[in-house]
Amino acid sequence: MKAEFEGIHPDEGTIHAWLDGELDAPDAARVEAHVATCGSCAERVAEARGLIAGASRVVGLLDERPVPLLRPTVLATTAAKRSPWRVTPMRSAIAALLLVAAGLTLTRDRIAMEFTPAVPTAAGRMADSAVLAVAEGKDAAATLAPSSSAPQVGRPTDSVFASAVAKRVAQDQPARGVGAAHGIAIPDAPPTPAANVPTLNAEPAREVSRGQMAAKLGAATADAAADKAKSSVAQVAAAATCYRITSTDTTRLWGGVVLPMEIALASTAAPSDSNGARLAITGVRGGGTIGSWSRLPGDRLSLSFRALGATTVAVLAPAGQRLAGTLSSRQSTLALSEVVVTGAASPVARSRADSLAPRAVAGRDVSLRRDSASARTAEERRLPVVATPIDCPQ
């Protein structure tokens, strides 16, 4: 064959590049001319076409379902900044605190189901559909749906978690019957309507800012509670101290949370709240992760919180102007009610809880305490971290 005499049979890679439209014009013309006159190359081209189409089909088979389009709502903060109703991370944190206070007992079955080891994915799907039912059946929970697509807080588990909280709170409030109705004591907040609950969910969903989901959770939770029981639980003091937690290894996806993250420590004045001090994560993962904190002797700080399905304990000791320690996280089948403050705060520690400031004390040994309740959980992951004090986001 003439082409063979010319010695320019394109190799397989070149044929693919040609079919992919990635050869420059002279090369493409050369391959085209060759293939037109070379029977064996024409066959190879036909085979390559089949491979390209087949491989594309096989890759497409991997897709379980279409990927929904998530909106980058977290970045659309400009409009929110202009509004006096805007939700600041601080307010969100406080709203998240209310959420904790209101939803303290929670979702044992939900979380257990999520982490049944044998069939984790199937269990996850079951759980998702269960929560969809909640969202459809309740206005309060339904408001969670749009904000759940905000990227910073957008994992399905967050809305699952939130819906579970809203549901459980609605169920629990009549029985618990705690106190009279209180709103959230948000600094600079506009007057709240009759239920003393910020109507944040009246804002357009497309302008949801980073912290807004958390605030919505608080509002939705409180709405649900007020509707059912005409009471809400927590009156949260505004005082808070904030830290940014980083690790030398920032690539770690840790316990469902991506570092670095920011945490807000706040105390609460709610008499029903025996733990006294709350922690909210205001960083990457928004309001889905909540917990409690306390002071330990020696100015150490004990954190205990969870992302959905992972319980985390850390004791941070002063190290110069910062705090250092180890985050220890494990997958958990626990209910939120079983998340405890490690090394329960003494009365003294509690009274100092809202004036926590880093002190220049020499570094100390870091002691890790495990929740006794998390003993039946599986893998533990530990990550050395440093907590740097920051201004609380306004």
Partner 1 sequence: MVTPERLKTLFDTYHQPLVRFLSRQTGDRDLAEEVAQETFVRALKQETIASERSWLFAVAMNLVRDEARKDARRRRRLELMRDEAEAESVVQPASTSMERDEERALARQAVEALADRDRDALLMREEGLSYEEIAAALDLSVGSVGTTLSRARRRLMEAYEALQSAGSAKRGEEES
Give the gyration radius of the chain's Cα atoms: 27
Which listed residue (119, 133, 202, 348) binds partner 1 by CB under 8 A? 119
Over the window 221 to 260, marking each residue x when it contacts partner 1 by CB under 8 A and - when it does not, the resulting string is: ----------------------------x-xxx--x-x--
Q: What are phi and psi for residue 184, nearest 5 degrees?
A: -90, 130
- Indicate the SS3 state at residue 260: coil
- Measure the CA–CA gap between 257 and 178, rounded to whole angstroms: 32
Does residue 371 contact residue 324 with C-beta atoms inside 8 Å?
A: no
In the bound state with partner 1, the residue whose beta carbon lies nearer, of 38 and 45, is 45
Q: Are 317 and 357 in contact (CB under 8 A)?
A: no
According to DSSP, the residues that pair with 384 across neighbouring strands are: 326
| Contact yes or no for 301/348 (Cβ under 8 A) | no
Q: How many Cα atoms are found within 13 Å in the side-chain-facing hemisphere of 255?
A: 28
**Minimum gap (Å) between residue 248 Cβ and partner 1:** 13
Write down the least CB distance from residue 103 to partner 1, Å. Answer: 22
Shortest spacing between CB 85 and partner 1, in angstroms: 21
State the nearest-atom distance from the C-beta of 114 to partner 1, in Å.
11
Query: From the centroid of its chain, how far is CA 33?
Result: 56
**Restricting to residues 153-192, which ones interact with partner 1 according to CB under 8 A?**
154-157
Whichever of 48 and 200 has its CB closer to partner 1, that residue is 48
CB of 108 to partner 1, least distance (A): 21
- Minimum Å gap between C-beta 175 and partner 1 is 34
Binding mask 48-87 for partner 1 (x = CB under 8 A): x-xxx-xxx-xxxxxxx--x-xx-x--xxx----------
Q: Tell me if 132 contacts partner 1 by CB under 8 A.
A: no
User: Quick one: which segment of 10-18, 92-100, 171-179, 352-360 binds partner 1 (CB under 8 A)?
Assistant: 10-18
Rounded to 5 degrees, what are φ and ψ at 281? -95, 120
| CA 305/CA 123 separation, integer angstroms | 23
Residues 82 and 298 sit within 8 Å (Cβ to Cβ): no
Does 12 engage in binding with partner 1 (CB under 8 A)? yes
Using rule CB under 8 A, residue 152 touches partner 1: yes
* SS3 state of residue 363: coil
* Positions in the binding site for partner 1 (CB under 8 A): 11-17, 20, 22, 48, 50-52, 54-56, 58-64, 67, 69-70, 72, 75-77, 118-122, 124, 151-152, 154-157, 249, 251-253, 256, 258, 284
